[in-house]
Amino acid sequence: MAEKQTDKDGQCVLPLSRIRTIMKSSPDVGSISHEALFLTGKATEMFVKNLTNVSRKKSQDKMNVSYKDLAEVINDDDILQFLQDIIPLKIKAKEYLDQLEDEDEDSP
């Protein structure tokens, strides 16, 4: 069973067992202390809260965060560049094909 806990008692909201599984999937990780696991979970939780708050502030609809809002925040912020492959701006297929044609024309 997941070790999901509430934030009320100062614990991590994310399930620590899932975080451990993700961390263990790296071949470079040996053992994981409970403190490292908790801090990784708490840092992830804080990162997600910050990302959603920034997206909500830039959104037209202040009650909901859409994919488009997240993608725009990630695309505009250089610090979040590592997420651009995961949450790219949506474009139409025709625009993408036009971009590919332009790249092919520019290549020698």
Quick one: fold of 1-61? Histone, subunit A (1.10.20)
For residue 7, the 8-state DSSP code is G
- Within the chain, all domains assigned CATH 1.10.20.10 are found at 1-61
Answer whether 0.75 is exceeded by the pTM. Answer: no
Residues of the chain with pLDDT under 50: 1-7
The answer to whether the CB of 19 falls within 8 A of the CB of 44 is yes
Tokens of 57: 């502030």
Largest CA distance in the chain: 62
What whole-number distance in Å separates Cα of residue 56 and Cα of residue 41? 22
What whole-number distance in Å separates Cα of residue 23 and Cα of residue 26? 6
Q: What pLDDT is attached to residue 58?
A: 87
Q: What pLDDT is attached to residue 8?
A: 53
Q: What pLDDT is attached to residue 10?
A: 67
Q: What pLDDT is attached to residue 89?
A: 87
